């Protein structure tokens, strides 16, 4: 109950504060446009996501596996000290796929629906899920509401993200993987963009990983257990960028129509 109350207060408080602030400054047109633009800029994480993902590969190639593991630990929740080079690259791809949804497409969708207040209410839910939404002994009860709320609000964005990735690449295998593997992920949402990217690149994600000292046996997404290359990382980064442009273009066209 305490975790639920905390989540509701923070999410509702974020929305209310920004709603009232933007309503007040709306009378100052130039200031309103500037402030809204700044919030939207900081509400999206695609630049940071791609930059940090490529940084992992650069560290891995330049300074070896230990440096790659350390750099990867900055952007993933799993333990990285036992990962092989291929597992590091695979983790980067999974992160690029999953975070395209909750770091870029979902915030944009909520911005288009309800402006900056709803966009940052979503960001608060996402942050709470990252902080307390773990299935650990410490947070199992306190964070369950935040985790379930995150699942609910990401349900539609995750599936839209997966479809966008397939559309911008015109990849039929990616579409097949969405339906074949999307629901096999332990998360009700993360599996869909991951399945799309695994299909597009014809590689395999998932499998056992350690989280907070506990071995979690995640199902595999895909069947081609090939070595992941640097080129795959750059292709995934390009897909993220084009998918972002695609969703913006769709809403611009929708508003014009």
Query: How high is the mean pLDDT in each 10-residue block of the chain (257 residues)?
Result: 94 97 94 94 90 94 94 88 91 94 95 96 93 76 92 96 96 95 87 95 85 74 92 95 93 81
Smallest Cα–Cα separation from 116: which of 18, 233, 240, 218?
Answer: 18
Neighbouring-strand partners of residue 211 = 214
218 DSSP assignment: E
Whats the size of the chain, residue-wise?
257
DSSP 3-35: HHHHHHHHHHHHHHHHHHHHHHHTTSHHHHHHH
pLDDT digits (tens, 9 = 90+) for 162-211: 999 999 999 999 999 999 999 988 788 989 999 999 999 999 998 777 77
pLDDT in the model for residue 75: 87
pLDDT digits (tens, 9 = 90+) for 214-231: 767 788 899 898 999 999
Task: Map tokens 């979690």 to a residue.
Answer: 216
pLDDT in the model for residue 184: 84
In b/e form, how buried is each residue of 151-169, taking b as 16+ CB within 10 angstroms? bebbeebbbbbbbbbbbbb
Task: Map tokens 């790659």 to a residue.
Answer: 68
The H or E element spanning position 171 is none
CA gap 144, 64 in Å, rounded: 38
Is the full-model pTM beyond 0.85?
yes
Task: Map tokens 């960028």 to a residue.
Answer: 241
């Amino acid at each position: 109950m305490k975790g639920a109350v905390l989540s509701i207060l923070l999410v509702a408080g974020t929305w209310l504060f920004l709603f009232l602030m933007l309503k007040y400054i709306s009378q100052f047109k130039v200031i309103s446009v500037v402030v809204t633009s700044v919030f939207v800029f900081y509400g999206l994480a695609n630049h940071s996501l791609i930059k940090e993902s490529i940084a992992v590969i650069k560290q891995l190639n330049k300074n070896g596996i230990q440096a790659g593991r350390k750099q990867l630990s900055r952007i993933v929740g799993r333990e990285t000290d036992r990962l092989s080079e291929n597992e590091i690259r695979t983790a980067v791809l999974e992160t690029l796929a999953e975070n395209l949804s909750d770091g870029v497409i979902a915030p944009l969708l909520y911005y288009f629906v309800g402006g900056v207040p709803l966009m940052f209410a979503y960001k608060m839910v996402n942050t709470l899920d990252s902080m307390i939404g773990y299935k650990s002994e410490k947070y199992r009860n306190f964070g369950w509401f935040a985790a379930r709320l995150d699942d609910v609000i990401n349900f539609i964005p995750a599936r839209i993200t997966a479809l966008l990735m397939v559309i911008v690449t015109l990849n039929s295998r990616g579409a097949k993987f969405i339906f074949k593997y999307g629901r096999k992920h332990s998360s009700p949402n993360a599996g869909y963009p991951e399945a799309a990217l695994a299909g597009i690149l014809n590689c395999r994600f998932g499998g056992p990983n350690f989280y907070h000292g506990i071995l979690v046996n995640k199902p595999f997404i895909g069947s081609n257990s090939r070595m992941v290359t640097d080129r795959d990382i750059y292709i995934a980064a390009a897909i993220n960028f084009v998918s972002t442009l695609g969703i913006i273009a769709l809403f611009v066209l929708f508003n014009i129509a």
